[in-house]
Amino acid sequence: MAKARRKRETYVQVDCSPPACPFCQSTDREPYFDVVTLHQSGVWNGKEFTRIRRKRTRCKSCRRFYLVRFFEHPKPAEAPESSGPEQEAPKRARKR
Ligand SMILES: [Zn+2]
């Protein structure tokens, strides 16, 4: 009845910490590729998330592929990330 489809790929679930290889625990990996954004919301590990980013990568140590899921939660709009031009130009008048 129910399709027992097993995914052969291994997921690593992280939110912010650098993901480690589920096989050898190495954090040495190749760049992410095949990034998929899943619009789901829920709570994971006590944190609310509104979307999941699924990224595929490959371990450099054991050469195995694995997937990493990032649980993301956009910051509320009231938090202004002001990275304005903080350029202080201390141009002082020359003294004579
Ligand atoms: Zn590995």
**Is 57 part of a structural domain of the chain?**
yes
Tell me whether residue 15 is in a domain.
Answer: no
Give the start-end residues of each E strand in the chain: 11-14, 33-38, 42-44, 47-49, 51-58, 65-72
Q: Has residue 67 been placed in a domain?
A: yes
Write down the pTM of the prediction: 0.59
**Residue 66, in any domain of the structure:** yes
Could you count the other beta carbons within 10 Å of the beta carbon of residue 67?
A: 19
pLDDT in tens, 25-79: 899 999 999 999 999 899 887 888 888 888 999 999 999 988 888 888 766 655 4
Query: Is 51 contained in some domain?
Result: yes
**Cα–chain-centroid distance for residue 32?**
10
Q: In which band, very low, low, confident or very high, does the pLDDT at 16 lie, cut at 50, 70 and 90?
A: very low
* 21-31 pLDDT, tens digit each: 888 989 999 99
32 lies in which domain range?
A: 26-74
Please count the structural domains in the chain.
Answer: 1
For residue 13, report the distance from its CA to the centre of ligand 1, in Å.
15
Residue 20 lies in a domain: no
Q: Who surrounds ion ligand 1 at CB < 5 A?
A: 21, 23-24, 26, 59, 61-62
